[in-house]
Amino acid sequence: MKKIIALAALTALVSMVDVAAAADVVGNPKAAENKIAMCIGCHGIPGYKATFPEVYAVPMLGGQNAKYLENALNAYKKGDRKHPTMHGIAASLTDQDIADLAAYYSQQK
């Protein structure tokens, strides 16, 4: 029983550290300028349509709320949102990358 309580306490402590670390991440729109190349291939196309694997509409990122963009990228990263291309891209992003991209696109018109 003591081992279970100790394990639960350790798990709680680790998740508190993860939350604190994520709370410390502040987006830097200037830093995102070197990271947007992977986004503009679809989200920068006039008419916001991409053609792989089929023609589909893609959302306009410019002017979106930064928190919304962060949540969306994290959901793709975890697999909660289903799109293979976005999952692959989001899985490669750090928390700082996500915050930077969200800050950059939230300032666009």
- The three-class DSSP label of residue 50 is strand
Domain extent at residue 52: 26-106
In whole angstroms, how far apart are CA 79 and each of 11, 42, 97? 22, 20, 18
Please report whether residue 9 resides in a domain.
no
Q: Mean pLDDT across the stretch 63-80?
A: 97
Q: Do the beta carbons of residue 79 and residue 87 sit within 8 Å?
A: yes
**Domains identified in the chain, total number:** 1
DSSP state for residue 80 in the 8-state scheme: S
Please report whether residue 7 resides in a domain.
no
- CATH number for 74: 1.10.760.10
What b/e string do you get for 47-80 counting C-beta neighbours within 10 Å, with b at 16 or more?
Answer: eeebeeeeeeebeebeeeebeebbebbbebbeee
Digit-coded pLDDT (tens) for 9-43: 556 655 554 544 556 899 999 999 999 999 988 88
At residue 99, the pLDDT reads 98
